[in-house]
Amino acid sequence: MLWNRLWGVHGQKILIESKICLLSCEPAGVETVKNLILPGVGSITIVDHNQVQDRDLGNNFFVTEEDIGKNRCDAVTKWLLELNPDVRGEAVNENPAHLIDNNPEFFKKFDLIISNDLSENYIKKIGEICANWHISLIVLRSAGLIGSVRVYDAVHTIIEGKSDRDLDGYRIHSPFPELKEFADSIQLDKLDDFQHRHVPYFVLLIKFLDEWRSSHDGKIPQNFQEKQEFAARIKAKSRDWNEEENFQEAVKFAHKAFLNPSNLPANVEKVFSSDFLKKIDENSDSFWILADALKRFYEKHQLLPVRSIVPDMTSDTDNYLKLKKIYEKKAEEDRKEIQSLIQLSNHKITDEEIKTFCDNLFNLDYIAYRTISQEFDSPKELEVFETDCYKWHFALRAVSQFYDKYQRYPSEEGDVKGLLEILAGLQQKIEGLVAVEEENQQICQEMVRYGGSQIHTIAAFLGGVASQEAIKLLTHQFKPINHTYVYNGITSEAEVYEF
């Protein structure tokens, strides 16, 4: 399946076990859930108290004319589940606001909650519920041509970042004994041309780095000029540069030979210095338990564990398999030591979890998100980028606060003044934000013109972004945004901000 190629069998297993809750059947939320049902999340629960109306037919593809007058959550759930019979679903015909106020325990069972155009008062309340119970949250807002996706997780840890930061972990700079013995066993001058063309570039780099050290007082190339000279030496050692792809790979990846494995990569240093690592207990996530064991391993050896994954390279089958076996054996030894260094034995961390963790050391990361309450009550200084999308974020918030105050969306010319006052009040709290009265007037007129209407094309776009971030949150693969994505459909511009 395509999904397995994207996030692997274990990632798919996480999705299959995930429980999602959607609050309100507005189109952006429905589109998000649709995109999660297709790859096969475990279950969806849709909470909505409204009935299907004519206006729903224009922006929600999961209701029909026959559904008019029926409970909207029942109709939407029915049509969504037809997309994937393996997904379980439940419709809850209740006002999300009443559920948040009167039965917060209801949300405890979910892995992810998607808040869809709730008023700001209830966005804050559901944010507090998610913060208390460590539930992931996505907040969707949409009005006319403007929309936003707010991502929240108490502390989101990332193991499989899927970046290309595989610069180390192979010990080419300082080969372990088995690797050094293998490299020394290959004598380049005694190989025929075919064999010479198929020596793995790992071996070439180890051998040529040894030669360099022997003529430079044991030092590796130190500056740009010496690194260029090292690459030139590799090229000169080839018998036919245009034909010997392994030598070309050695030059391309020569930087791997210069990386001292005793030096911590920035991402691992960030994890090691985190306050979360200093206060692990029996309730800690397995990420931090393993990070603690990894730190103990490093403090003992001044090295990180060897990776078991050997990249593709030009090589004959025999040498490649030997190299692969050497790394797998050493990686297994390191993993066993990591296991022995785990302090909290009541955590049942599997060998596969340890392997995934160690093979992705250069992708480890975490995001400590600001809560919804922190965003609303103690906003950060605004960092302005090239686009002005942040202005529409505050416009959406102003509309939400207008709804809290009047229980309706601004839709009449006389509403511009009231919306302007709310928008100005929001802007005054933001350090670094320079408000322009004329510009605010235009923004508020645009929001009033929308009258709370939602357009399916914008909803579908937001649903694509939100579902992508939802999968990152659930699988702990790739790196989710931090923390609000704002889309301006007027100019087709978007930006991510941490408010």
Length reported for the chain = 499
Q: Is 47 left (phi over 0), alpha (psi -120 to 50) or beta?
A: beta
| Average pLDDT score over residue span 411-435 | 88
> What CA–CA distance (Å, rounded) separates 25 from 67?
14
Predicted pLDDT at 484: 96
In the predicted model, is pLDDT for residue 223 greater than 60?
yes
* pLDDT-derived band at 346, boundaries 50, 70, 90: low
Q: For residue 331, give the nearest of 359, 311, 292 by alpha carbon.
A: 359
Cis ω before 483 (30° cut-off from 0): yes
From the options 3.40.50.720, 2.60.120.10, 3.30.565.10, 3.30.230.10, give the CATH code of 2-159+453-497: 3.40.50.720
Residue 113 pLDDT exceeds 80? yes
pLDDT score of 64: 92
Beta strands in 281-426 (DSSP E): 365-367
201 pLDDT higher than 90? yes
Instruction: Calculate what percentage of the chain has a pLDDT beyond 90.
Output: 77
Which amino acid does the sequence have at 308? Answer: S
pLDDT score, position 437: 86
Question: Could you report how far apart the first and last alpha carbons of the chain are, in Å?
Answer: 38
Evaluate if residue 111 carries a pLDDT over 60: yes
Tokens of 275: 């306050």
- Tens digit of pLDDT for each residue in 140-192? 999 999 999 999 999 999 988 766 555 567 999 999 999 999 999 999 999 99
Question: Six-digit token pair at 314?
Answer: 């030009």
Q: At residue 245, what are phi and psi to the nearest 5 degrees?
A: -65, -30
β-partners of residue 461 are none
Burial of 6 (0-12, 13-18, 19+ CB in 10 A): middle
Count of H helices and E strands in the chain? Answer: 22, 10
How high does pLDDT run on average in the chain? 92
Beta strands in 146-290 (DSSP E): 146-152, 156-158
CB atoms within 10 A of CB 338: 20
One DSSP character per residue, 294-307 reads HHHHHHHHSSPPPP
CA dist 318 and 34 (Å) reads: 48
pLDDT value for 165: 57
Q: Mean per-residue pLDDT for 40-62? A: 93
Q: Which of 433, 444, 454, 450 is nearest to 390 (CA)?
A: 433
Cβ-Cβ contacts under 8 Å for 236 (sequence gap 6 or more): none
Q: What are phi and psi of 406, to 5 degrees?
A: -115, -5
Query: Hey, is 382 helix, strand or coil?
Result: coil
Domain ranges within the chain, ordered by starting residue: 2-159+453-497, 172-260, 372-450
Is 22 in contact with 29 (CB distance < 8 Å)? yes
Instruction: Tell me if 284 sits within 8 A of 293, measured CB to CB.
Output: no
61 contacts 454 by C-beta, under 8 angstroms: no
Pair type for strands 146-152 and 88-92? unpaired
Q: Which pLDDT score, from 0 to 100, does residue 214 have?
A: 94
pLDDT at 347 over 80: no
The answer to whether the beta carbons of residues 34 and 76 sit under 8 Å apart is no
User: Percent of the chain beyond pLDDT 70?
Assistant: 97
DSSP designation for 80: H
Mean pLDDT over 349-355 rounds to: 88
Q: How confident is the model at residue 139 (pLDDT cuts 50, 70, 90)?
A: very high
Least confident of 11-15, 160-164, 280-284: 160-164
What is the spatial distance between Cα 479 and Cα 82, in angstroms, rounded to a whole number?
31
pLDDT at 281 over 90: no
Question: Left, alpha or beta for 90 (phi > 0: left; psi -120 to 50: alpha)?
Answer: beta
The model's pTM is: 0.89
Model confidence at 345, in pLDDT bands (50, 70, 90)? low
Whether residue 374 is predicted with pLDDT greater than 70 in this model: the reply is: yes
Q: How confident is the model at residue 202 (pLDDT cuts 50, 70, 90)?
A: very high
pLDDT at 164: 58
Cα angle 487, 492, 498; round to 5: 30
User: What is the separation of C-alpha 89 from the centre of its chain, rounded to a whole number of angstroms?
Assistant: 26
CA nearest neighbour of 30 among 73, 89, 88, 1: 73
Q: Of 369, 373, 370, which Cα lies nearest the Cα of 125? A: 373
Sign of CA dihedral 19, 20, 23, 26: negative
Cross-strand pairs, 90: 45
Quickly list H helices, 38-85: 54-57, 72-81
Q: Please name every residue paired with 454 in a beta bridge, in sequence order, or none if there are none.
A: 144
